[in-house]
Amino acid sequence: MSTEHGHDHHPRPDSELALRARALEALLAEKGLVATDAIDAVVELYERDVGPQNGARVVAHAWTDPAYRERLLADGAKAIAELGFVGAQGDNLVAVANTPSVHNVVVCTLCSCYPWPVLGLPPTWYKSPPYRARVVAEPRAVLGEFGLELPDEVEIRVWDSSAEVRYLVVPMRPAGTDGLTEEALRALVTRDCMIGTAVPQTGSR
Amino acid sequence: MDGIHDLGGMHGFGAVVAPGGEAPYHERWAARVCALHMLVELERLGARPGGRATREEMDPVDYLAASYFERWLWSAEQGLLRKGTIAAGEVEHMMERLAAGGPEPPPHRDPEQAARAVERLREVVPMQPATRPRFVPGQGVRVRRMHPAGHTRCPRYVRGARGVVERVRGAEELPDLAVYERDAPVEPVYAVAFGSDELWGRGEEPPWTVALDLWESYLEEAE
């Protein structure tokens, strides 16, 4: 298979799928079963309120408050709830911390389980066959595609999520960030840092 | 079920980092199907076994050819059909009506349903504590060789492999049964770590660890 193909290459045209999706929504609206405004509300929830900005707040807080970090690593779900982040697909959230000797990376080989309350909806690559097939079997090659090279002595731990247990990676705080406020630290914590396919970068890199 | 969805370790899928990979979706219909499917499940309009296990039943050729939310559209429709919420042919009929420029049904407003959905999506249902777990942290376990025809959370690539229990996560209904029926047995769930040599043999990369959460009946004592 060519590596040139994109993730959205598939034989059925979007126009036909869009029509089918519109028809299903219209049918359920006509039957009075699924409300148009309920669909709007759920779409908005994940486009506006729930996304990686939530996870970045959790991580930056853990970087600046050692007691919070301890609570986060002991009971992830309870600790994210302290900051107001709760909900579907985060019930049994486990936070795993990177250290100088351990790097964590998260996948769901069977479907697309992901810690929604802190990261929102997963990117397409996370849900697609290449990542799900490969990261458990050749993690360094996959991380290399993301531009992440780790020393040989670092143990990579791949967490294969389930519907009941989801993972959030707590990356290491980069050196040279002692003077930054918690708010400024949040900007360093990207989505991929919390999946484990990247590590936080400071401006000097 | 040993279906196409059980992808761990398979070869031939190409690059992970590829065009179109970054966003959760690229078309408005996909965003709305995502929300619609959540509502179908929250409002119990679809039949068991629900979206995830239903998608595992998809024809493998269709599964791989479909985009992610195309699979969700399929499983939403399947659930609704199997429950009898919609009848065969109704979606196609509506498609023809809309494509012909026929009248679009007026939007159905239900602020209560909207509020209920957002509230339910923010609910937390923590795992129960495990009572009398059979295995303890540090203990060696072997994943049973099995070949279940239905849904399971035990991927093929760990079956038969020896791992070490790291944590007792808690207790949860066995998903293999819980997706199909009420009151499925509740079992301890363990975080089990496997060495890459055990799973894949020695390869080019320095050894790594794969950890996953496995239900007690997936496991037996390692010799």
Domain definitions of chain A by residue range: 14-46, 51-195
What is the structure's pLDDT at B47?
Answer: 97
User: Per the CB < 8 Å rule, is B109 touching A127?
Assistant: no
Reduce the secondary structure of chain B to three states and give it as a string: CCCCCCCCCCCCCCCCCCCCCCCCCCCHHHHHHHHHHHHHHHCCCCCCCHHHHHHHCCCHHHHHHCCHHHHHHHHHHHHHHHHCCCCCCHHHHHHHHHHCCCCCCCCCCCHHHHHHHHHHHCCCCCCECCCCCCCCCCCEEEECCCCCCCCCCCCHHHCCCEEEEEEEEEEEECHHHHCCCCCCCEEEEEEEEEEHHHHHCCCCCCCCEEEEEEEHHHEEECC
The predicted complex's ipTM stands at: 0.97
Single pTM value for the model: 0.95
Q: Which of A10-19, A91-100, A116-125, B6-15 has the lowest mean pLDDT?
A: A10-19
Are B144 and B218 a contacting pair, CB within 8 Å? yes
Chain B touched by A129 (CB under 8 Å): yes
pLDDT-based confidence at residue A2 (cuts at 50, 70, 90): very low
Q: Which pLDDT belongs to residue A11?
A: 58
Domains of chain B: which residue ranges? Answer: 28-121, 140-221
Flag whether pLDDT at A77 surpasses 70. Answer: yes
The CA distance from A108 to A112, in Å, is: 5
Q: Is the pLDDT of residue B69 over 70?
A: yes
Comparing alpha-carbon positions, the chain A residue that sits nearest to B6 is A110
Catalytic residues of A: 108, 111-113
CA pair distance A156, B209, nearest whole angstrom: 6
CA distance A139 to chain B (A): 8
- At A127-156, the pLDDT tens digits run 999 999 999 999 999 999 999 999 999 999
Interface test with B, best of A4, A9, A20 (most B CBs within 10 A): A20
Q: Nearest Cβ partner of B29 from A17, A111, A163?
A: A17
Q: Do domains B28-121 and B140-221 have the same CATH topology?
A: no
pLDDT at B27 over 70: yes
Q: Which residue of B has its CA nearest to A119?
A: B24
Question: pLDDT at residue B89 above 70?
Answer: yes
- Which CATH number applies to B28-121: 3.40.50, 1.20.120, 1.10.472, 3.30.2020? 1.10.472
Of all residues in chain A, the percent with pLDDT exceeding 70 is: 91
Specify the 3-state DSSP secondary structure of A68. Answer: helix
Q: What is the mean pLDDT of residues B36-47?
A: 97
Q: Which of B170, B108, B151 is nearest to A35 (CA)?
A: B108
How far apart CA A77 and CA A93 sit, in angstroms, is 5
Select the more confidently predicted residue: B102 or A17: A17
Output the pLDDT for position B123: 84
Q: Please check whether residue B68 touches A, CB under 8 A.
A: yes
Superfamily of domain A51-195: Nitrile hydratase alpha /Thiocyanate hydrolase gamma (3.90.330.10)
Average pLDDT over residues A193-197: 98
* Residue B137 clears pLDDT 50, i.e. is over it: yes
> B61 touching A, CB under 8 A?
no
Query: Which of the listed CATH numbers 3.40.190.10, 1.10.10.10, 2.30.30.50, 3.40.50.10860 matches domain B140-221?
Result: 2.30.30.50
What distance in Å separates the CA atoms of residue B211 and residue B206, rounded to the nearest whole number?
A: 17
Calpha distance A140→A126 (Å, rounded): 16
For residue A7, pLDDT beyond 70:
no
